[in-house]
Amino acid sequence: MSVRCRLAALLGLALVLVSPSPAAAHLGSPDVFLDGRAGPYRIFVTIRPPNAIPGVADVEVLTTDDEVREVRIVPLPLTGPGARFAPVPDVASRSAGDTRLFLGHLWMMTAGAWQVRITVDGVRGAGQLAVPVPTLPKSTLAMSPTLRVLLTGLMILLCASFVAIVSTTVREAGLPPGEAPGPAARRRGRIAGATAGVVVAIAVVLGNWWWSAEAANYARYVYKPLEAAAAAAGGRLTLTLHDPGWIRSRRLDDFVPDHGHLMHLFVVSPGLDRLWHLHPEQGAPGVFEARLPAIPAGHYELFGDLVHKTGVSETVTASWDAPGSGGPLTGDDSAFPTPAAGRIVWVRDGQPLVTRRLAMFTFRVEDADGQPARDLELYMRMPGHAVFIRRDRKVFAHVHPGGSAPMAAIEMAAASSAVHGHHEDDAALPPTVSFPYGFPEPGDYKIFVQVKRSGRVETGAFDAHVE
């Protein structure tokens, strides 16, 4: 990293350290999980983006065999010229506790759509995998009281020392060795000390003003999610987006399809005992409409996943009071609970669920006789979809067998990358489906798993407690 980049990073970190209060974080899970292939090697990737930009992202690469000799990582813009000219990558260090785990840290310098390009080298040659990573400054970090007291004391000591040095220099610099200063010299020293005190006070006031202005500028830089309002009329559900003001480049008319739809909208009841997975279509910029399904009257929470053409994904939220009317589901829309031809079983390994640890959530689909189902089909180009949502609805994540990154962003990062779990046809889908994910916070969660069997979408719901 160049000296200029390091100075910019240090300045950014200094600004967030003195900011007085935290800001609202982006809804959902900030970490990125991906199950993919780097050439002949299957790897599981976890990337924890920094909360403040510039900041350091933590990268974990878990390989599935012992043939990997080296893993290199480098951050790049997701698209554009910067994505084609990679700097010298960093070499990830092998974990002392697990020889298949490689760890690294990367500076992410600006907000926007980035990728971490991973190169794996081993006995069977080398391979690459590009992992899309949205870098959004989600919060500022307050200075701890201990650090505040320490720095304040050091500042007072520095200012007092400067005044004392100036006063002593003016009072005694012209005296012969051993001669005590007279009244005139002491008066000059006091005048010089007072002048130095005024200069120090002005410097402190101006420095505080500049520092506060920079901190305020960074606070405006903190990510502000899109706002949404839901309404129902004429058998249609309308979701209207509003930009509260963040960066000027964000638009409401640049969304791209992800799994064939511009928006994946999830409607959940407060008790998480009901769920609808809908796909509104965009009419005017920022206005999405869907045919209203038969949702009982009541209060609901809405979560809408979108992907900008830049590759940055966002989740919009809204509260909605359903009128209690609607029609049947159509297309890829689905609901829970609905009658099923079998059941979905969570295959657990008995290990407790803990925060910030990558885990594979595997589910087995059975037919009415309890046998492995043989009629699975792709549901929107995927063997399955999963939703992880905390009981208080403060954490929400829409995950696929390939991971938590949207397929649209993965395709932007590397069109030739083969992501595990992404199938181009319906041939021989196994009766099990797995999702890589790590819980960001403790609490009680609900996991919804959706698969498609013989043209019908089936949903299983599971409770999870995270320590």
| Amino acid making up residue 291 | R
* pLDDT at position 415 over 70: no
What is the model's pTM?
A: 0.83
Q: How confident is the model at residue 44 (pLDDT cuts 50, 70, 90)?
A: very high
Listed residue (326, 337, 266) closest to 301, CA to CA = 266
Instruction: Give the angle subtended at the CA of 51 by the CAs of 5 and 145, to the nearest 5°.
Output: 100
What would be the CATH architecture of the domain defined by 3-135?
A: Sandwich (2.60)
User: What size, in residues, is the chain?
Assistant: 467
pLDDT of residue 144: 86
Measure the CA angle with vertex 299, ends 294 and 305; round to 5°. 75
SS3 238: strand
In sequence order, the β-bridge partners of residue 436 are 360
Quick check: 53 pLDDT over 70? yes
> Residue 181: what pLDDT?
85
Tell me the pLDDT band of 369, cut-offs 50, 70 and 90: very high
Q: What is the pLDDT of residue 246?
A: 83
> Closest Cα to residue 25, out of 219, 302, 317, 223?
223
pLDDT of residue 27: 65
Query: Which position has the higher pLDDT, 47 or 112?
Result: 47
The backbone region for 193, taken as left when phi is positive above 0, alpha when psi lies in -120 to 50, beta otherwise, is: alpha
- Specify the CATH number for 227-328; select among 2.60.40, 1.20.120, 1.20.1070, 3.40.50: 2.60.40
- What pLDDT band is residue 427 in, cutting at 50, 70 and 90? low
Sign, CA torsion 186/188/191/196: negative
Is residue 310 within 8 Å of 78, Cβ to Cβ?
yes
| 337-467 homologous superfamily | Immunoglobulins (2.60.40.10)
CA distances from 260 to 264, 380, 423 (A): 10, 7, 14
pLDDT of residue 199: 95
Q: In this predicted structure, what is the pLDDT of residue 245?
A: 86
Q: Which tokens go with 399?
A: 């995950």
- Cα separations in angstroms, 245 against 21, 115, 220: 19, 25, 9
Give the whole-number percent of the chain exceeding pLDDT 90. Answer: 68
Q: Looking at the predicted structure, is the pLDDT value of residue 420 above 50? A: no
SS3 content of the chain, % helix, strand, coil (to 5): 20, 40, 40
Mean pLDDT of the chain: 88
Residue that wins the pLDDT comparison between 344 and 51: 344
pLDDT beyond 60 at 418: no
For position 222, what pLDDT does the model report?
86
